[in-house]
Amino acid sequence: MKQASTMRSQAPWKPGRAAAALLGDLRFLIHEPAPLYHSQAGACLPSNLLADFRKSPLLYRRKRCGLIPDEDRPAYLLGRAAHTLILEGRKRFDEEYAVGGPINPKTGNLYGANTKAFAAWAEAQGKPVVTREQFDLLLRMHLGVVRNDIALTLLGDGEAEGVVRTEYCGKECQIRIDWLNRRHGIVDLKTCDDLTWFEADARRHGYVYQLAFYRAVLAQVVDQFVPVHLVAVEKKEPYRCGVWQVSEEVLGIAQRENEQAIDRLRLCELSNHWPTGYEDLRIFDAI
């Protein structure tokens, strides 16, 4: 297995130009339910916990110890449902989610999502529920992605939600790739409020660090760096969909910072010392 620094990178993908197959065989991918994947975070380092460590070693430690429970907001449910519908199709969506709710016999309309009747019906479904309004939104987002020719190409030949577990920088790591295209590499699907500000949102949320981690962990298995793309779709009119290819230079910078963070993580584990990251005096020198 080659070291990450010597693995070859791929030429940038250009819309409309055929690309030679990078990954003809995707049998190395593990397919498992999301809850099982997340349950392995205690043994394997995922990108979200690495992001927590970069922010604060103490935050990472408290999450590892279960002292800070994972937060599950309604927006997260909608995001997961969008991934399932857009990446895995309607059949898989219907297996994973229930749509609608009980009908009020007095009005002939659906009970509201905040009523006891709706809560009881939802619990009886045995799976997450999206309302009719949310499902209509998901369909519009799906259509937004389909209307983008580049996105349609990237999300064509490949597999969704593939898991990779391997050693990277001396740590057992795991990744769950939204879509791995045999020709065009890693494709990460994001939902956003306004595509105009997506690049700023991507910086704020550290998407490049996440994708650099994905690319580097995948490279330990496939022995090469693959291209990385972001597909983003709006959650409101006009449901625009945009595609970005993340540059090799930016991915390289983020990879180095990730690897430095993993080195610091190993030192924290050895010393059992978990600083906040704000122990030193800082100088405020900007207006």
Give the separation between CA 88 and CA 159, rounded to whole angstroms: 9
CA angle 49, 50, 55 (to 5 degrees): 95
Domain count within the chain: 2
Together in a domain, 188 and 48: yes
Give the whole-angstrom CA distance, residue 269 versus residue 271: 6
Same domain, 81 and 197: no
Q: What is the DSSP string of 111-158?
A: PPTTSHHHHHHHHHHTS-EE-HHHHHHHHHHHHHHHT-HHHHHHTTSE
pLDDT per residue as tens digits for the range 170-187: 999 999 999 999 999 999
Residue that the structure tokens 């593990």 belong to: 30
Both 156 and 240 in a single domain? yes
43 and 77 share one domain: no
For the record, the structure tokens of 176 come out as: 């769950």
User: Do 208 and 235 belong together in one domain?
Assistant: yes
Q: What percent of the chain has a predicted confidence (pLDDT) above 90?
A: 78
Claim to verify: residue 65 and residue 84 sit in the same structural domain: no
Side-chain-side CA neighbours of 92 within 13 Å: the count stands at 13
The continuous run of DSSP H or E covering 3 comes out as none
State whether 93 and 161 are in the same domain.
Answer: no
Give per-residue pLDDT as tens, 187-223: 999 999 999 999 999 999 999 999 999 999 999 999 9
- Report the pLDDT value the prediction gives residue 122, as an integer from 0 to 100: 86
Q: Are residues 122 and 216 located together in one domain of the fold?
A: no
* pTM as predicted: 0.89
The tens digit of pLDDT for each residue in 7-58 reads 333 444 454 333 455 787 899 999 999 999 999 998 999 999 999 999 999 9
Rounded to a whole number of angstroms, the distance between the first and last alpha carbons of the chain is 49
Do residues 152 and 128 both lie within one domain? no
Show the domain range for 202.
Answer: 29-70+147-273
Cβ atoms 151, 174 nearer than 8 A: no
